[in-house]
């Protein structure tokens, strides 16, 4: 009984796309939307990982006490009387621009291509800087937060930032894991792993007689 009352007091009603949605205090807009089967695209979100807010493709329009703003749904907490629009002219425009920017880095990503079609993004809008990694951090965070291995990490800063496997850890830990591979929205992770493997093997000392 006490438990039931506690759940009720922490229940928050919000509105998403004109539909009333029950959410619990502490939930993000993305979690509330998903609980009501309302789709919001994500690229850097994973339910087992801490919110990261890197890609911004989950941008939605929120209105609270008469003020509207664009926020990242995977980070923004629900609050009483919140009104959310998951699609609007502003939302679609920002998602289109984000996709055009990301496609310059990873033009062959099927996930980006599908979203580009949905939002009418032009893959040639920005000059190609095909790094193939969109720095979503899913691989790095999954390995650190879920697997607790840190076999892959970010190196460098700014425009030179990239992910890299730590060959000494990767050759031991990744061979039987590879759980992060399917999380990568591009093909970069597998390529980086092959590179790490070849580096590790090329530095292996030759067998002694």
Interface with ligand SF4 (CB under 6 A): 133-139, 163, 183-186, 188-189
Q: Give the interface with ligand FES as residue ranges (CB under 6 A).
A: 42-45, 53-58, 72, 74
Q: How far is the CB of 193 from ligand SF4 (least distance, A)?
A: 9
Q: For the sheet containing 83-85, what is the strand order?
A: 19-24, 11-16, 83-85, 59-64, 67-72
Q: How far is the CB of 171 from ligand FES (least distance, A)?
A: 31
Distances, alpha carbon 188 to alpha carbons 11, 180, 199, 205, in Å: 42, 12, 16, 28
Q: How far is the CB of 83 from ligand FES (least distance, A)?
A: 19
Closer residue to ligand SF4 in complex, CB, 69/190: 190
Q: How far is the CB of 42 from ligand FES (least distance, A)?
A: 4
Q: What angle do CA 196, 198, 202 make, to 5 degrees?
A: 120
Q: Which does 74 bind (CB under 5 to 8 A by kind): ligand SF4, ligand FES, none?
A: ligand FES
Q: Across-strand partners of 68?
A: 63
Contacts of residue 86, Cβ cutoff 8 Å, sequence gap at least 6: 16, 17, 33, 38, 39, 40, 60, 73
Q: Which does 137 bind (CB under 5 to 8 A by kind): ligand SF4, ligand FES, none?
A: ligand SF4
Closer residue to ligand FES in complex, CB, 57/196: 57
């Amino acid at each position: 009984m006490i438990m039931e009352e506690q759940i009720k007091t922490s229940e928050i009603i919000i509105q998403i796309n004109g539909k009333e949605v029950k959410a619990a205090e502490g939930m993000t807009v993305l979690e509330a939307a998903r609980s009501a089967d309302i789709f919001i695209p994500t690229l850097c979100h994973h339910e087992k990982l801490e919110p990261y807010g890197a890609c911004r493709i989950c941008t939605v329009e929120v209105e609270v006490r008469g003020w509207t703003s664009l926020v990242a749904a995977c980070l923004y907490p629900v609050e009483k009387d919140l009104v959310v629009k998951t699609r609007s002219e502003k939302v679609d425009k920002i998602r289109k621009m984000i996709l055009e920017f990301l496609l310059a880095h990873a033009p062959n990503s099927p996930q980006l291509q599908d979203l580009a079609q949905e939002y009418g993004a032009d893959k040639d809008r920005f000059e190609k800087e095909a790094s193939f990694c969109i720095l979503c951090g899913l691989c790095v965070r999954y390995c650190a937060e879920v697997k607790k291995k840190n076999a892959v990490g970010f190196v460098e800063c700014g425009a030179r930032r990239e992910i890299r496997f730590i060959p000494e850890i990767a050759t031991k830990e990744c061979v039987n894991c590879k759980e992060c591979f399917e999380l990568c929205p591009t093909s970069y992770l597998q390529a980086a792993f092959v590179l790490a493997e070849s580096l590790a093997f090329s530095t292996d000392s030759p067998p002694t007689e």
